[in-house]
Amino acid sequence: MEKKDKNIGIELITRHLSGESNAAEEKELQHWLAADPDHITLLDQYSSLWEKLGRVQSVAGIDLDAEWHILESRMAEGEKMITLQPGRKRRASFYTGRIAVAAMLAVILTFSGIYLASRFGYRTLATTAQPEELVLPDGSTVTLNHFSSLKYPRRFAGEIRNIELDGEGFFEVESDPDHPFVIKTRDVDIKVLGTSFNVNAYRENAAVEVIVKTGEVAVTRHGDIPKTIILKPGNKGVYKKNNETLKITREIDRNYLAWKTRNFVFEDQTLFDVSQQLNKVYQAEIIIASDSLKEARITTTFNDQSLDAILNVLSATLDLDVRKSNGQIILSETN
Amino acid sequence: MAAGERNIGIKLDKRAFEELFRSFFPSLVLFAQKYVPDQDTAKEIVHNVFLNLWEKRQQLDTSSPLKSYLFTSVHNRCLNYIRDQKKFDRDETLFQKLDSTAFIDGVDRLEEQELEQRIYDALQSLPEKCREIFMMNRFEGLKYAGIAEKLGISVKTVETQMSKALKILREKLIDYLGMVILFILTHLN
């Protein structure tokens, strides 16, 4: 009986503290408090707890996975932090200071939107050697290629479905015209309403490439003079980092999705080209022993096969010797 | 032994380092936020302290616990930040920050930090769903109905989880809840 009474009290206290109780419940709470001095102690404790929790409010949403990911990559880069140096000369100090602040801001921004986003409960998926598939809170699906990362909210709030990509991903976005889906990358933003497309935005690449499979996609270049292009199915948008140009082309590598599907179509391609594509998709290191062999031409298709199966086909077709050593795969002509 | 009680002299491998980072990052950010104007700056300072610790892990040679090393480093970097800002920044709030915080005894701050760490850890110990619901109400100010709608659950479930969260948190933090808060009583009566 007593325990049940206490539980009722805790329910009343909970409603009271969380701002859910109506006038009748507030009255009920007062009656309950008046019944036993211990009840008052209990309310004191809960109120104190409620208030003290406020102290950690600003850090409660920190995404430790994301933060660790940032630190880990900085550890790997062995990157030196930028320290704020005040100007030596009095006169110059104002400007030096401003520059230092700008540099600090740049560093903060470089270490990505996680900083701002994590407050609102962001998660990060970071892949290593294997691509991974992910369903976002709105039902959209993303396949993330190797060594890529995607930051996305625990739930989409507000008008725009914002996510951030570093690396390569194939997106199938749930249609929702009222809530545009925006993928932010370092150099360009990609805005869509509901469609499927591939984004290749590895930081180290010289260009960002967006290839549209279905629907329409808008790609916007960052910078002082933003520029937007609209891509339709079969279009590829290319942003070149060196001259900051953003252009549409129709030259699409037919195997652009092979990293996801492992389906390849090769038509009269050199063995060297084939090996390059296989290396990228399978994270392999195929080496062709002779220059003449690099120029050997091949026409074939592969559908989601293992690298070994593919090597068997190549070896049978071109009469090759396949040798594995120290993680490398060496292709040579049979003697 | 908790990661923070380890001494620096003990080998700090990457695993131990990650554990250390995960246990102390939030409370160090909270600590830094008392000195610097925004969370981004606080995070940057804490990241730099960890990065520095990692880079110097071979040369570190002191018998002090890692925890006080971390807090002292963050403290010092925050003061450097304020000092450097002060030289060129005309923003009054920074002067105020400097006056009100820079010379406070570090000991008080560490006790305060201890409490915050406990609160944070208690919050993290809640079952995930329970924590999510609780944070939406306590920190985002959402009503039960709003939470229920967002998560696709019933209002009753939200209510149950809210009470559950508070019960667990009370048990974990009971030692810190001794103070009688008179204004609540006044308010009620």
Q: Write out chain A's pLDDT in tens, 335 residues.
A: 466 777 889 999 999 999 898 889 999 999 999 988 889 888 988 988 998 898 888 888 888 888 888 888 778 765 333 333 333 223 333 333 344 444 444 444 444 334 344 444 778 888 887 888 888 988 888 998 888 899 988 888 778 888 999 888 888 888 877 788 889 888 888 888 667 888 888 887 888 888 888 878 888 887 666 777 888 888 888 988 888 888 888 888 888 888 888 899 998 899 999 999 999 899 889 999 888 899 999 888 898 889 999 998 888 888 889 998 888 999 998 87
Residues spanned by the domain of A105: 64-120
The pLDDT score that the predictor gives to residue B137 is: 93
The beta-carbon neighbor of B116 closest among A15, A56, A155 is: A56
Complex-level ipTM: 0.77
Whether A109 and chain B come into contact, CB under 8 Å, resolves to no
With a CB-CB cutoff of 8 Å, which residues 36-65 of chain B face chain A? 39-41, 43-44, 47-48, 50-52, 54-55
Final residue belonging to a domain, choices A83, A105, A120: A120
The pLDDT score that the predictor gives to residue B62 is: 53
Domain membership of residue A149 (yes or no) is: yes
Domain membership of residue A43 (yes or no) is: yes
Q: Please indicate, yes or no, whether residues A72 and A108 belong to a single structural domain of this protein.
A: yes
Whether A43 and chain B come into contact, CB under 8 Å, resolves to yes
Domain with CATH 1.10.10.10 in chain B: 125-188
Domain membership of residue A26 (yes or no) is: yes
Judged by CB atoms closer than 8 Å, whether chains meet at B30 and A58 is answered as yes
The pLDDT score that the predictor gives to residue A110 is: 40
Question: What string of pLDDT tens digits covers the 189 residues of chain B?
Answer: 444 555 544 567 788 888 889 989 998 999 898 888 788 889 989 999 998 888 887 766 555 678 888 888 898 888 888 877 765 444 444 444 444 443 344 445 567 778 888 899 999 999 989 999 999 999 988 899 999 998 999 999 999 999 999 999 999 998 887 654 343 343 443
Domain membership of residue A59 (yes or no) is: no
The pLDDT score that the predictor gives to residue B180 is: 42
Choose the mutation target among A4, A46, A67, A110 for the interface with B, i.e. most B CBs under 10 Å.
Answer: A67
Residues of A in contact with B120 (CB under 8 A): 56, 59-60
Final residue belonging to a domain, choices A249, A281, A296: A249
The pLDDT score that the predictor gives to residue B106 is: 47
Final residue belonging to a domain, choices A225, A249, A273: A249
Q: Please indicate, yes or no, whether residues A16 and A81 belong to a single structural domain of this protein.
A: no
Choose the mutation target among B163, B169, B176, B189 for the interface with A, i.e. most A CBs under 10 Å.
Answer: B163
Both structure tokens of A201 = 């935005």
Residues of B in contact with A13 (CB under 8 A): 166
Q: Please indicate, yes or no, whether residues A201 and A312 belong to a single structural domain of this protein.
A: no
Q: Please indicate, yes or no, whether residues A68 and A170 belong to a single structural domain of this protein.
A: no
Q: Please indicate, yes or no, whether residues A228 and A311 belong to a single structural domain of this protein.
A: no
Domain membership of residue A170 (yes or no) is: yes
The pLDDT score that the predictor gives to residue B119 is: 92
Q: Please indicate, yes or no, whether residues A245 and A210 belong to a single structural domain of this protein.
A: yes
Q: Please indicate, yes or no, whether residues A74 and A99 belong to a single structural domain of this protein.
A: yes
B3-91: CATH topology is Rna Polymerase Sigma Factor; Chain: A (1.10.1740)
Residues of A in contact with B16 (CB under 8 A): none
The beta-carbon neighbor of B180 closest among A44, A54, A78 is: A44
Domain with CATH 1.10.1740.10 in chain B: 3-91
Q: Please indicate, yes or no, whether residues A142 and A165 belong to a single structural domain of this protein.
A: yes
The pLDDT score that the predictor gives to residue B86 is: 63
Whether A27 and chain B come into contact, CB under 8 Å, resolves to no
Domain membership of residue A70 (yes or no) is: yes
3-state DSSP of chain A: CHHHHHHHHHHHHHHHHCCCCCHHHHHHHHHHHHHCHHHHHHHHHHHHHHHHHHHHHHHHCCCHHHHHHHHHHHHHHCCCCCCCCCCCCHHHHHHHHHHHHHHHHHHHHHCCCHHHHHHHCEEEEECCCCCEEEECCCCCEEEECCCCEEEEECCCCCCCEEEEEEEEEEEECCCCCCCCEEEECCCEEEEECCCEEEEEECCCCCEEEEEEEECCEEEEECCCCCEEEEECCCCEEEEECCCCEEEEECCCCCCCCHHHHCEEEEEEEEHHHHHHHHHHHHCCCEEECCHHHHCCEEEEEEECCCHHHHHHHHHHHHCEEEEEECCEEEEEECC
Residues of B in contact with A74 (CB under 8 A): 47, 51
Q: Please indicate, yes or no, whether residues A226 and A280 belong to a single structural domain of this protein.
A: no
The pLDDT score that the predictor gives to residue A52 is: 87
Q: Which CATH number fits domain B125-188: 3.30.390.10, 1.10.10.10, 3.40.50.2020, 2.60.40.10?
A: 1.10.10.10
Q: Structurally, how many domains does chain A consist of?
A: 4
The pLDDT score that the predictor gives to residue B61 is: 56
Q: Please indicate, yes or no, whether residues A203 and A84 belong to a single structural domain of this protein.
A: no
Domain membership of residue A189 (yes or no) is: yes
Residues of A in contact with B139 (CB under 8 A): 57, 60-61
Domain membership of residue A158 (yes or no) is: yes
- In angstroms, what CA-CA distances link B13 with A43, A73, B16, B65? 46, 16, 5, 16
